[in-house]
């Protein structure tokens, strides 16, 4: 690597860092973010309701960790992270086009790839924080009586890691979708709640064409009976393979998004 190349790389990372700082501070101020924060904390309120009900014997005495794994985690993994990733992932490019603010970024000495990566990191960071805070608080509330059990924290750490990987991967995918499609939300909804759900019912290798397959492969198989309908016919991949695939999917879609954003011409209507 020549000195010129090193300089280019360091310039690129500096640009990514500057774009990240800009948009991370911007997105925190937006009202939509506050609403999404509220939504991601709904499971915490649910956890409080369940806990109070159990204390006053209004609800069945189910173990907190069971509720956490089978309900709270299902809510986050099958719905919330999809919604968050869809909105913020597509926002990486779409909001600049819709708001006609792209010009301000593309007339600065930063590469278009740095804009995409910087915004992606900012938005992924935000949704990860949103989700982790909700998950951790729900966990703490539901397992109030067992907080001394260290083994439970392993489960929490595993679940947080899986959700983080899921957000990273889905946001990258939707970042790509946002750069290529105008109607990215429709496609995103059909993908998230159509493709990702339906394909899980298909046996064999078909499941490997979804992101949720690799996420669920990182979680233990559910007990049969209650809630197993959510995980029909899961033929899990190995942990190493799943993590590798998630990172690979993230990398591939981010690179594609960068390439597309760099070479595609975006015409903003006057």
Partner 1 sequence: MTAVIQTQNLSKWYGNVLGLSDVTLQIEPGITGILGPNGAGKSTFLKLITGQIKPNIGRVMIHGQKVWNNYALFAQIGFCPEQDSFYEELTGWQFLTNLLKLHHFSPEKINEKAEKAMDIVELTKDKDRVIRSYSRGMRQRLKVAQAIAHDPNIIILDEPLNGLDPLGRRKIIRLIKEYKGEGRMIVVSSHVLPEIEAMTNRIILIHQGKIFAQGDIHYIRDLIETHPHIISIKCSHPRLLAEKFIRYDYVLKVHFDLQKKSLLVETNNRDKFFSLLPSLFRENHISVEEITSPDDNLQAVFDYLIGK
Partner 2 sequence: MTIKEKGYTHWDGELRDGRFPWWPITRFGIKLTFKRKFFKFLFALTLIPALVWLVGIYISERLEDFSFMVRGDQTDFLNVNPSYFNTYFTNDFLLFMIIMILVFCGAGLISDDLKHNALQLYFARPLKKKDYLFGKAAVIFFFLFIITLVPGLVFVIMKLIFAGNFKFIISYPWLLLSIIVYSSLLTSFFALYTLLLSSVGKNRRYVAILIFGVYIFSDIFFGIFYGIFRSQYFALLSIKVNIQQIGAVLFNQRTPQDVPWIYSLLIILGMCVLSGLFLNKKVKGVEIIK
Alpha helix positions (H), the chain: 3-29, 31-40, 42-55, 64-67, 73-75, 81-98, 102-106, 112-142, 150-180, 184-190, 196-198, 211-217, 239-263
CB of 113 to partner 2, least distance (A): 23
Nearer to partner 2, 59 or 260 (CB): 59
State the binding partner of 22 from partner 1, partner 2, none, CB within 5 to 8 A by kind: partner 1
Residue 208, judged by CB atoms within 10 A of its CB (0-12, 13-18, 19+), counts as middle
Annotate 141-164 with DSSP letters as a single string: HHTGGGTT-HHHHHHHHHHHHHHH
Q: Of the candidates 111, 175, 192, 217, which one interacts with partner 1 according to CB under 8 A?
A: 111
Nearer to partner 1, 78 or 111 (CB): 111
CB of 123 to partner 1, least distance (A): 15
CB of 268 to partner 2, least distance (A): 14
Contacting residues toward partner 2, per CB under 8 A: 31-32, 39, 42, 46, 49-50, 53, 58-60, 62, 67, 70-71, 75, 79, 83, 86-87, 90-91, 94-95, 98, 183-186, 189, 193, 226-227
State the binding partner of 26 from partner 2, partner 1, none, CB within 5 to 8 A by kind: partner 1
CB of 195 to partner 2, least distance (A): 14
Q: Identify the residue whose tokens are 């792209």.
A: 102
Residue 119, judged by CB atoms within 10 A of its CB (0-12, 13-18, 19+), counts as buried
Nearer to partner 2, 30 or 248 (CB): 30
């Amino acid at each position: 690597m020549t000195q010129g190349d090193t300089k280019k790389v360091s310039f690129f990372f500096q640009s990514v860092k500057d774009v990240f700082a800009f948009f991370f501070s911007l997105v925190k101020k937006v009202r939509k973010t506050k609403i999404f924060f509220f939504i991601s904390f709904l499971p915490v309120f649910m956890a409080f309701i369940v806990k109070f009900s159990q204390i006053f014997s209004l609800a069945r005495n189910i173990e907190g960790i069971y509720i956490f794994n089978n309900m709270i985690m299902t809510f986050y993994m099958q719905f919330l992270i999809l919604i968050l990733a869809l909105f913020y992932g597509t926002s990486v490019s779409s909001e600049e086009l819709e708001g006609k603010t792209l010009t301000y970024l593309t007339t600065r000495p930063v590469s278009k790839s740095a804009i995409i990566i910087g915004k992606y990191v900012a938005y992924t960071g935000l949704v990860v924080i949103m989700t982790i805070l909700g998950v951790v608080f729900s966990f703490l509330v539901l397992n109030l009586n067992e907080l001394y059990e260290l083994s439970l924290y392993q489960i929490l750490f595993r679940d947080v890691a899986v959700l983080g990987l899921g957000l990273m991967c889905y946001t990258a995918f939707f970042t790509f979708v946002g750069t290529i499609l105008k109607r990215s939300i429709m496609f995103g909804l059909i993908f998230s709640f159509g493709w990702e759900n339906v394909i899980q019912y298909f046996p064999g290798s078909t499941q490997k064409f979804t992101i949720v397959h690799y996420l669920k492969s990182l979680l233990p198989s559910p007990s049969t009976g209650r809630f197993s309908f959510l995980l029909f016919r899961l033929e899990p991949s190995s942990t190493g393979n799943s993590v590798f695939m998630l990172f690979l999917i993230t990398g591939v879609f981010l690179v594609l998004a960068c390439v597309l954003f760099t070479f595609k011409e975006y015409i903003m209507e006057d």
